[in-house]
Structure 1
Amino acid sequence: MESPLRIGVRVPPCDRADRVVETVRRAEELGFDDVWFPDSQLLWRDVFTTLTAAALGTDRIGLGTAVTNLATRHPAVVASAARSVAELAPGRFTLGLGVGNSSVGPVGLRQTTSAGMRAGLRMLRALLDGEEWEFGDAGVRSRLRDPGPGVPLHLAASGPKNLQLAGEIADGVILLSGVSPRTLRSATARVREGAEAAGRSADHIPLTVSAFCAVTDDIEAEARLIKPICASIAQNGGAPFLALAGIDVDVPKTVEGVYPDLVHAEDWPAAVEICSAWISDEAALRFAEEFCLFGTAEQITQRLGALRSAGVTGVFLQHVGSYDPPAELIEAIGSSVLPALSAPTPAKAGH
């Protein structure tokens, strides 16, 4: 019997850690399985400080980074931070890693390459396991005192190289393709290729999908708000994925008037208006219907069930916005969707 789909929610560290923990506690009370925190040093409070407070302030809920990186944080620094949080939340912490995105851009650094990610994960795992590591050309060998073996390392990926890399070396994969069946099939196929090349079974690699979510009776109105998300995907090489869903858009590489970027715009209404030059209301609606979880509680429940049938093991839901907690989303999902998902399936006639 397959395990139930894990339902998580993304909570940006957008306020003091003690206040963010109030949101995490509410998610735990309502039955969410996980809370995932993004890491971007100029946008939010420090992610590991927030995780420490969350670990001390909760009892059951899973905690994870979605995601931190190995560019602004040296792998040895990440190893120490991850071990420190894992000690406070035994068996509850997952270290999600990615290429950097909003962490590296604002400080003029480049995203981590696939080769860099491979090397960084090797170092990180060795240190967490208590092994010595040779640093630099000078041949300095060091190890992490009081290591934390067993911390799951999940790799966030969207492109084919990193999807294959995740299948090859990571303990789990965070899929950035949304819930579109077409893109999910393509993404999971790449993960499987990487796993098989390494002699691993892809069936045992957790797959967590990130998805924007809104419980609503008016999908058209909510869809208009995610134009910057759609534009950012097209801007960063995702146009072919959008085209699979019949969304043909051409967004310039540089968009003026949005800070710090399209996904994390401080003035969201302005970003929506700016992106309306390339993303029509129709395209936004199509994007919401194909890639996001927008709709009534019943519709969202049905789509989540379909994800589990497709081999996905977890999902973390995102609200539109980076600088406020997802309180409304947590209440809506927690009060209507989670009870429906946990309800026993009616027996078929004759059984």
Structure 2
Amino acid sequence: MDFGLVLQTDPPASRVISLMKRAERNGFRYGWTFDSAVLWQEPFVIHSQILANTSRLKVGPMVTNPGTRAWEVTASTFATLNDMFGNRTVCGIGRGDSAMRVAGRAPNTLARLSAAMKVIRALGRGEEADLGGTKIRFPWIREGAELPVWMAAYGPKALKMAGEEADGFILQLSDLYLTEYMVKSVQEAATAAGRDPAEVTVCVAAPAYVTEDDSPGALAHAREQCRWFGGMVGNHVADLVARYGEHSGRIPEELTDYIKSRQGYDYGHHGRSDNPDTRFVPDEIVDRFCVIGPAEKHIEKLTALRALGVDQFAVYDMHDAQEATIDAYGSRIIPAVNT
């Protein structure tokens, strides 16, 4: 199993770069950042410095979207980084939550996301793409250019599209039941489209917090540091409920039940441990969606995720123990999972 580190691009950028260097030293193979232009600093500028200060780490956004950037500009950015540093980027992409809503726009449609994925992938690989009637190709891309496109998804139509079209599937939660359900949906869609399901990389991303023991106090603190994640996921779940209905049978109630007491969301606290809009998230959801507890519990859950077909676990490291989590994964968890 591969491991990734996910960070927000809060200033100073030097700290983001330092944590990514630390992650590479500890055996992480991927470095991901949020992409929301109003809330955080420009990720691709920082990606260039992460790549320059590491030797093997692959980087990408978790996730960009097709609405805040022109598609050819996105593709050119990835292709330039790959030309400079040797095919070390991944385009993580989704409909856009915080990036679009903070700018006063709704998330992109799946149709627009599908079209953007095709254009960005083709251009990033040096192939021709059609921009609404105008065909273009980057003349400067050298032979051997690569750009995998991994799609974030929760709902049935998005899961189907990920299986049919994406090089990878990003699932932002680590619940075992939901992971099995959604990975199966993506793989079935890939098979129905005539693809080998093994060609679709599966990346599960969730907060991880390593405690010294499983005492009530230690677990309570870990939950408070990670409770924000249930609120972030809840934004996507609320969209699904609005689209499909609360008891439609199209989405598992294991995903939707917990947002019944959700009352709103302020993106000014998005992805932060002190988010006041996530009090509705119960401990059970924190435990299911995140990975918390002593190292042995992390090893146990990650081993179970790997058995469900997960190829990468990406650690959301937004809490008060960033360095400690990276070091614990490097010294105890990654070696044990990959033994």
Range into which the TM-score falls when normalised by the shorter chain? 0.7 to 0.9
| Residue in 2 that maps onto 1:213 | 208
Contact 1:213 1:317 in 2 (8 A): yes
| Residue in 2 that maps onto 1:311 | 309
Q: Residue 187 of structure 2 is aligned with which of 192, 196, 199?
A: 192
Farther-moved stretch of structure 1 (5-14 vs 124-133) = 124-133
Matches within 5 A, 1:164-313: 164-176=160-172, 178-216=173-211, 217=213, 218-237=218-237, 243-244=253-254, 248-252=258-262, 254-255=264-265, 258-260=266-268, 263-265=270-272, 268-269=273-274, 271-272=275-276, 274-276=277-279, 278-279=280-281, 283-284=282-283, 286-313=284-311
Q: Distance in 2 between matches of 1:101 and 1:245?
A: 18
After superposition, what is the alpha-carbon deviation per residue over 1:116-136, rounded to whole angstroms, capped at 9, x for unaligned? 111111211222233343434
Farther-moved stretch of structure 1 (89-98 vs 10-19) = 10-19
After superposition, what is the alpha-carbon deviation per residue over 1:21-54, rounded to whole angstroms, capped at 9, x for unaligned? 2211111111112111221112222111111111
After superposition, what is the alpha-carbon deviation per residue over 1:61-90, rounded to whole angstroms, capped at 9, x for unaligned? 222221111110111011100101112332
| Residue in 1 that maps onto 2:94 | 98
| Residue in 1 that maps onto 2:148 | 152
After superposition, what is the alpha-carbon deviation per residue over 1:257-287, rounded to whole angstroms, capped at 9, x for unaligned? x4425x335xx53x34x543x34xxx22x11
Q: Distance in 2 between matches of 1:89 and 1:298?
A: 36
Matches within 5 A, 1:70-89: 70-89=66-85
Greater radius of gyration (CA) = 1
Farther-moved stretch of structure 1 (231-240 vs 298-307) = 231-240
1:185/1:253 CA distance change after superposition, 3 Å: same
Contact 1:231 1:251 in 2 (8 A): no
| Residue in 2 that maps onto 1:127 | 123
Q: Residue 61 of structure 1 is aligned with which of 50, 57, 65?
A: 57
Contact 1:154 1:174 in 2 (8 A): yes
Contact 1:31 1:334 in 2 (8 A): yes
After superposition, what is the alpha-carbon deviation per residue over 1:208-254, rounded to whole angstroms, capped at 9, x for unaligned? 00111100132222213433432443454267778428964413453
1:64/1:248 CA distance change after superposition, 3 Å: closer
Contact 2:79 2:125 in 1 (8 A): no
1:221/1:166 CA distance change after superposition, 3 Å: same
| Residue in 1 that maps onto 2:30 | 34
Q: Residue 2 of structure 2 is aligned with which of 2, 6, 13?
A: 6
Corresponding letter in the other structure for 2:169: V
- The answer to whether structure 1 residue 331 and structure 2 residue 327 are counterparts is yes
Corresponding letter in the other structure for 1:210: A
Farther-moved stretch of structure 1 (126-135 vs 48-57) = 126-135
Corresponding letter in the other structure for 1:229: F
- Structure 1: tracts of 5 or more residues without a match: 345-351
Contact 1:20 1:325 in 2 (8 A): no
| Residue in 1 that maps onto 2:337 | 341
Give the RMSD, CA atoms, in angstroms. Answer: 2.5
Matches within 5 A, 1:9-24: 9-24=5-20
CA shift, 1:141, in A, is 3.3
Corresponding letter in the other structure for 1:304: L
1:56/1:302 CA distance change after superposition, 3 Å: same
